[in-house]
Structure 1
Amino acid sequence: MKTATPTLARAINDRLALDLLLERGPLTAPQLRALTGLSRPTVSDLIERLRADGLIEVTGETGGDRRGPNARLYGLVAGRAHVAGVDVRRSAVHATVADIAGAPAGSASRPLGESPDLVALASAAVAEAAGGRALHTIVLGTPGLVHPRTGLATDAGVPGWRPDLLPALRDRLGAPVVVENEVNLAAVAEHRVGAAAGHDDFALLWLDDGIGAAVVLDGRLRRGASGGAGEVGPLRFGGEQFCALLEAGAVRGLAPAALADRIVGAVFALVAVLDPGLVVLGGATGRDGGELLAGLVAERLAPLSPAPTEVRASAVEGNTILQGAVLTALGLARDDVFG
């Protein structure tokens, strides 16, 4: 069995320390030693290395209430890099910028008219949110299929859509841009900070102005060969497409029980094929329905499916797609900046 080279070992130790600072905030050298199990000389070396690379800095001292010298607190240099998440709706573009520690640094929105210049509006929203800061990575969520290899998306009814949106945005913004399906990004947020936290397997059923699903298995987002995994909208129930049965206008005023009757067919299809163990009801309909709606769907699902499945309502506050875009951008930026 091969052992790690000194260079690889240093890189692993550095990333371990940086991830701990992300998770816990500023730490002292003794705390880093206790949490990592590394020796005093190793921790001293990595602190000096990370400071020299501009990744961490002294943020204060601890131990003022005891005798003896105070211990320095080391924290991330949060401004080392910034990322942007973008949510392209059929009516507006929303952008949020965060520093590499994940703290919000700015946000902006632009409404879409009948024939908008989508590239110009998205770029303007990102630029306003960035406030003059250079951006390391931008992740944009959009309706429609996004090919997992080319990153090119299909037109899903967004005003001003153009097939070259990805390269056009890269040219206009002068930064790496990644385009991802909106529901996939919502699933990232649910997995990291929402109803699916701690679950390696789940499906998200998105019920909003668009209808779709996202699939996470073994902790990984599954897109399919052409980006079509989870596209449940065209499924037909009683001769009608699922998307027509459950879009916002079609369910307005429905009693929770009647709404659950419409939803359970698509949930069963996901469970029968994937056996995810957990289905999250997302989008405005799923979030507003809350645990009452989730419980009603679970009751109707139980006699249909031999696979035990929990049904939960979305637990992400605010714009789920935008949060998933920022989290995805942060993951890419940290892998590049932290190593």
Structure 2
Amino acid sequence: MATPPTGTSVVRAINARATLRLLLDDGPQSRPDIAARLLVSKPTASHLLAQLREDGLVLSDGNRDDGAVGRAAEMFRVNASAAHAAAIDVTPERIAAAVVDLIGTRVGEYVLSTPEGHDVEAADGVHDALAGACAQAGVPLSALHLVVIGVQGAIDPASDRLRFAAHLPGWQGDALTAALTERLRLPVEIENDVNLAAIAERAHGVAAEHDSVAVLWISDGIGMGLMFGGRVHRGLTGGAGEIADLPVPGTPTPQESPGFGTGGMQALAGGPALGRVLAEHGFDQATPLDALRAAAASDDGSADRALDEIARRLVLGLTAVIAIVDPELIVLAGDLALAGGERLRSRVEAGLRAAVVARPLVLLTALEENAVLDGGLRLALGRVQDQVLETVSGGQRTAD
């Protein structure tokens, strides 16, 4: 195990961690590259690399042949298999899992179906989905350093109980994180799914250049993720952004009608409610998603009226958010947002400009893959990389 660095080993530890961070961020480097970028001597760079190789964190990547005269420089890279992280995306229909190595390459995926009527206990479902992803990755479950689980709800930090998630059978009860940790024998973090989508948007989506962002997730359920200064805002009890329970005119409050989807913003603008709006205007396809796609593709006047009504409902909830949070950007995400496309986005933007003084930019997500898994993997990987960096000492090691 690594011992806390003391004396001159503090400097060695700082430099060794900086070397590993450089390789994690920028890929393979040569000794001269590392020496130049860290402002250390070439012999020092050699010692740092030797230490990291001894620790199993860095490997030789062969010699670089760039056509220059003289001896080709030996390249070094992170040992990607030195650590792994995983993320889970939970919906009522399935549990999706993915595994990444230490440099963020996705090496395994698995989807466990959880159809209605076949309730799966949270710990069992997560275990089976992770086992499937690890099998594809060729690593044991025990190789995972952290699992981040995205759920349609929020963990109460006081009771460790999942709130706003009556629609997820098997995920109720106190001490949920503790139960999952015990079943998996791994560190576990539970995060709201839209918060994870917001992390993905901020990392490489349309929110990459924005400081304050509200991601409105429009799907079967409606939710929101908030980010300020590049950090997720969760609130005191983890429920920041739970817009589904926002009281709005024309619907019962969640207290008056506690069943899932029967009150608040969810009753006004969740998937089932939008499906009814579309059906009333002649778009009665099998699912709200299919109906919205049909309306967005139609040039009939009834499609305009349906999209106007959907936008009006979304604007009603967003005006309350803008009045309090005043974000510089609102991102419309989720399968229904994508189905509505530009015709829905432009209506939401126009509605907000007419309703509130603040005029945030309204953009449609451009992320093509599962944004919840993407954000979960980014959060887990960042945590694991930090953990690995903390194990790097100044070269002093003791036996386990």
Alignment TM-score, normalising by the size of structure 2: 0.78
Shift of 1:76: 0.8
- Residue 146, structure 1, aligned to residue 155, structure 2: yes
1:46 Cα deviation after fit:
2.2
Partner of residue 183 from structure 2, selected from 154, 167, 172: 172
Matched letter for residue 176 of structure 1: P
Deviation at 1:82, TM superposition (A): 0.9
Residue 133 of structure 2 is aligned with which of 129, 134, 138? 129
2:340 aligned with 1:289: yes
How far the C-alpha of 1:235 sits from its partner, in A, is: 2.4
Among 65, 87, 90, the alignment partner of 1:63 is 65
What letter matches 1:226 in structure 2?
T
Q: Considering only CA atoms, is the larger Rg found in Structure 1 or Structure 2?
A: 2
Report the equivalent of 2:196. 185
Across the two proteins, how many residue pairs are aligned to each other?
Answer: 336
For 1:200, the equivalent position in structure 2 comes to 211
**Please, which moves more after superposition, 170-179 or 141-150?**
141-150
Other structure's SS at 1:214 match:
strand
1:293-332 matches, within 5 Å, as 293-332=344-383
Partner of 2:47: 45
Q: What is residue 157 of structure 1 aligned with on the other side?
A: 167
The question of whether the paired residues in 2 share the 8 Å contact of 1:152 and 1:179 is answered with: no
Q: Give 1:299's aligned amino acid.
A: A
Deviation at 1:58, TM superposition (A): 0.8
Q: After superposition, where does 1:19-34 map in structure 2 within 5 Å?
A: 19-34=21-36
Provide the C-alpha distance between the structure 2 equivalents of 1:186 and 1:76, rounded to a whole number of angstroms. Answer: 28
Alignment correspondent of 2:298 = none
- The secondary structure found in structure 1 opposite 2:162 is coil
Q: Distance in 1 between matches of 2:159 and 2:351?
A: 40
Cα deviation 1:86-117 (Å, max 9, x = unaligned): 11111111111111111111111112242323
Aligned CA-pair RMSD: 2.2
- Of residues 196-205 and 244-253 in structure 1, the stretch that sits farther from structure 2 once superposed is 244-253
| Partner-residue secondary structure (3-state), 1:83 | strand
Q: Quote how far apart the aligned CAs of 1:200 are.
A: 2.5
Measured in 1, the distance between the counterparts of 2:40 and 2:206 equals 35
Q: Does structure 2 conserve the Cα–Cα contact (< 8 Å) formed by 1:207 and 1:283?
A: yes
- 8 A Cα contact 1:203 1:216, kept in partner: yes
Q: Identify which of 89, 92, 104 aligns with 1:90.
A: 92
Contact 1:26 1:73 in 2 (8 A): yes
Aligned to 2:283: none
Which amino acid counterpart does residue 189 of structure 1 have in structure 2? A
Partners of 2:43 and 2:357 lie apart in 1 by 56
For the residues of structure 2 that align with 1:149 and 1:52, how far apart are their CA atoms? 43
Report if aligned partners of 2:122, 2:180 keep a CA contact under 8 Å in 1.
Answer: no
Tell me which residue corresponds to 1:14: 16
How much has 1:13 moved relative to structure 2?
3.1
Residue 292 of structure 1 deviates from its aligned partner by 4.2
- Shift in alpha-carbon separation, 1:49–1:305, aligned structure 2, 3 A: farther
| 78, 81, 84: which one aligns with 2:80 | 78
Corresponding residue number in structure 2 for 1:249: 272
Aligned match of 2:396: none
Deviation at 1:6, TM superposition (A): 4.3
Distance 1:307 1:157, change over 3 A: same
Which of the pair has the greater relative contact order for Cα pairs under 8 Å at 6+ separation?
2
Task: Give percent identity, aligned residues only.
Answer: 37
Q: Which amino acid is 2:181 matched to?
A: R
Distance change >3 Å, CA 12–CA 283, structure 1 → 2: farther
User: Residue 44 of structure 1 aligns to which amino acid in structure 2?
Assistant: S
* Paired residue secondary structure (1:197): coil
Deviations 1:274-295 (A, max 9, x none): 1220111111122333344333
SS at match of 1:233: helix
Residues 17 and 311 of structure 1: is their aligned pair in 2 closer, same or farther, counting only changes over 3 Å?
farther
Q: C-alpha separation between the residues in 1 aligned to 2:323 and 2:40?
A: 47
Contact 2:29 2:77 survives alignment (8 Å): yes
Residue 261 (1) aligns with residue 316 (2): no
1:24 is matched by which residue type in structure 2?
D
Using a 3 Å threshold, how does the CA distance of structure 1 residues 311 and 10 change in structure 2: closer, same or farther?
farther
TM-score, normalised on structure 1? 0.91
Letter in 2 for 1:105: V
Measure how far apart 1:150 and its partner are: 6.1
Q: Choose the corresponding residue for 1:116, options 116, 120, 125.
A: 120
Greater shift, 318-327 or 34-43, is seen at 34-43
1:151 CA drift (Å) = 4.7
Using the TM superposition, give the Cα deviation of residue 139 of structure 1 relative to its aligned residue in structure 2, in angstroms. Answer: 0.8
Contact 1:148-1:223 within 8 A present in 2 as well = no
Is the deviation greater in 104-113 or in 254-263? 254-263
